[in-house]
Structure formats: structure tokens, C-alpha cells
């Protein structure tokens, strides 16, 4: 439960990401009345009450969603909030104007978080008077399930704000990681897209199908990396010599794979084959099923890691 009984959170934007964050926060706030949602769509309250239950599984206890404050005035939405988290459109002018307005009404020490997957805080804050409170808090979708939060401050974000943000997520059992530079796409997506790029190349060359490639990942590096990330895995693979020993043993093979890698680009012509194989293999994916299994995987890892530390 909430370590701070007075904490109030305001979410701006009630799309998929905003509602998923709402489900997460409701698990920790002392009462749904501590959550405010602002969204410009007509009949936003009805949208929230109808769609938020989709973020709960059948075994969860639903909070009283009608206690959530769904408001249509930005001033009312933000004036009492300790944390203001936006998950609005991925559009720079929208975000710049939003923060300029939010700043007029928000408490001076309120934390300002953007869920953007691509627009750096240093650009979003351009029209603000005090740029020290804003940073990107980028989730891995869906945020009510996945533990990762990438904290990406701008050079103007204060160290205190970064620390308070990290502390918020860590106290709630999440994995907040401070990204030290505003690199394109931040870290998680860059890594995933690097693997996706080689995946597309191999499917396009007819080495494996889309479905076979997924089966390969699901039965090898997926479960491995759920438990120990790539560096830890290869450090272990190098025996007593660690990562250095690993590269001494098979650095040649690693470089051969890098040299031979496909380096496809968007629009290169692989799209037809890859998209149609995905459609044929999966149709419409049941994400509820995927999420249920993912939750259990995360629970098991937490349990086992807790046991090992005892």
C-alpha cells in the first residue's frame, strides 16, 4: 500500500497507457479518490469507467472506480497533485503547451512525468519557467504488469526530482532505471529493435519463418534473460574469465555474426513477406492470456530470487 497516505496522483490522457498506469496506481493509493484523470475526449468519465476494468484479471478485486475524479478542467486536475503523469499524444507542440499550462496551476514541488517513448524532456520543457521538475518516465507496455520504468531526465532536471521519482517506483516494487543521456528511443526499445532488425533479416532471407523465430526466442534467450540479462549470461558463459573470457573464447564468432548481420531498413521491401507471415501465424493476439502468463513468470522469479537471498 501507499507509503504516503496523503499522496495524490493526476493522470493526463486516458488512452491505453494512461489507463494501465491508473490500474497500477490504484493498487497502491489509499483510496481511488486520490487519483484524478484528465482527458479531453467527450464523456471521458464514461470512457474511464467502461475501459479501466479491462486492466484487471478475473481474480483481482476491483476498487470502487467511481471514486476516481475524472475532470475536464486542467486547473482542477493538477492543482492538488503531488505527481502529474502525462500519457497524451506523441506530439511535441501538444506536450510543450501542456507543460506550460500545467506549470501555472501545479504545486511547486509536484513531480511532472511524461510517458513518451520518443520525445525527450529537454524538448518538452522548452516553454516552461522551471524545467527542473520534468522528466520522462517511460514504461514497458503494459505498465500495470511490466516492472521496468526508464527514467530519462533532461539536463535541466534536478537530482532531487530524479531521486524522488526513483524512490516512488522502487518503494512500489518496480524497477526504475536512470538513463544518463537522452538517446533516441531510450534503452529498452533500442535493444529490442536491434534484435527485431536481425529477426526481420533472417525471415526475409527465408532462414526461418516469423513463427519459428518467435519459438526460438521463447525457448532460449527469452527465459534466460528473464532471469539473467545478456551481460550476466555471457559473463557466466566465460567461466572464471567472465565476459573477457567469453570474448577470448568466441569473440571471433561474435564478430562474424556482427559482420554478417542484415542491417535492413524500413521500406527495404521485406514488409510484405514479414507482415503476412505474422498475420497468418497469429491473427489477433490474445493479450489477456499473454499478460496472465507474464504475471506468473514475474511472480515466480520474484519468489525464487527472494528465497535465494534468505
Q: What are phi and psi of 114, to 5 degrees?
A: -115, 135
Question: What span, in angstroms and rounded, lies between the C-alpha atoms of 234 and 241?
Answer: 11
Residues belonging to the active site: 150
The helix/strand/coil state of 84 is strand
Closest distance between its own copies and the C-beta of residue 129, in Å?
Answer: 29
Which CB, 63 or 262, lies closer to its own copies?
262
Which CB, 63 or 147, lies closer to its own copies?
147
Closest distance between its own copies and the C-beta of residue 260, in Å?
Answer: 4
Which CB, 5 or 241, lies closer to its own copies?
241
Closest distance between its own copies and the C-beta of residue 26, in Å?
Answer: 21
Tell which residue, 152, 297, 158, 309, has the closest CA to residue 227: 297
Which CB, 171 or 279, lies closer to its own copies?
279
Tell which residue, 128, 126, 174, 172, has the closest CA to residue 151: 174
Cα dihedral 289, 292, 298, 303 in deg (nearest 10): -140
Question: What span, in angstroms and rounded, lies between the C-alpha atoms of 150 and 182?
Answer: 11
Tell whether the torsion through CA atoms of 288, 13, 23 and 146 is positive or negative.
Answer: positive
Confirm if 22 and 55 have CB atoms less than 8 A apart. yes
Closest distance between its own copies and the C-beta of residue 174, in Å?
Answer: 8
Which CB, 104 or 305, lies closer to its own copies?
305
Closest distance between its own copies and the C-beta of residue 169, in Å?
Answer: 11
Amino acid at each position: 500500500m501507499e507509503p504516503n497516505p496523503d499522496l495524490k496522483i493526476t493522470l493526463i490522457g486516458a488512452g491505453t497507457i494512461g489507463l494501465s498506469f491508473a490500474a497500477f496506481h490504484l493498487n497502491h493509493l489509499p483510496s481511488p479518490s486520490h487519483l484524478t484523470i484528465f482527458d479531453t475526449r467527450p464523456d471521458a468519465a464514461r470512457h474511464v469507467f467502461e475501459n479501466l476494468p479491462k486492466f484487471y484479471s478475473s481474480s483481482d478485486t476491483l476498487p470502487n472506480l467511481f471514486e476516481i475524479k475524472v475532470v475536464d478542467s486542467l486547473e482542477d486536475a493538477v492543482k492538488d497533485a503531488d505527481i502529474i503523469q502525462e500519457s497524451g499524444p506523441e506530439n511535441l507542440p501538444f506536450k510543450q503547451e501542456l507543460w506550460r499550462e500545467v506549470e501555472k496551476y501545479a504545486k511547486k514541488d509536484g513531480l511532472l512525468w511524461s510517458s513518451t517513448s520518443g520525445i525527450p524532456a529537454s524538448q518538452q520543457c522548452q516553454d516552461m519557467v522551471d524545467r527542473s521538475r520534468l522528466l520522462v518516465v517511460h514504461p514497458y507496455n503494459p505498465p500495470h504488469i511490466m516492472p521496468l520504468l526508464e527514467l530519462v531526465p533532461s539536463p535541466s532536471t534536478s537530482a532531487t526530482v530524479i531521486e524522488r521519482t526513483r524512490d516512488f517506483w522502487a518503494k512500489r516494487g518496480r524497477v526504475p532505471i536512470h538513463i544518463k543521456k537522452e538517446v533516441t528511443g531510450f534503452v529498452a526499445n533500442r535493444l529490442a529493435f536491434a534484435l527485431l532488425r536481425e529477426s526481420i533479416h533472417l525471415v526475409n532471407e527465408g532462414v526461418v519463418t516469423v513463427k519459428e523465430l518467435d519459438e526460438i526466442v521463447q525457448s532460449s534467450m527469452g527465459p534466460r534473460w528473464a532471469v539473467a540479462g545478456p551481460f550476466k549470461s555471457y559473463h557466466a558463459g566465460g567461466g572464471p574469465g567472465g565476459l573477457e573470457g567469453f570474448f577470448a573464447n568466441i569473440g571471433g564468432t561474435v564478430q562474424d555474426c556482427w559482420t554478417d548481420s542484415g542491417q535492413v531498413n524500413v521500406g527495404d521491401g521485406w514488409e510484405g513477406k514479414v507482415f503476412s507471415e505474422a498475420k497468418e501465424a497469429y491473427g489477433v493476439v490474445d493479450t489477456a492470456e499473454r499478460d496472465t502468463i507474464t504475471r506468473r513468470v514475474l511472480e515466480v522469479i520474484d519468489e525464487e530470487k527472494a528465497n535465494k537471498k534468505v
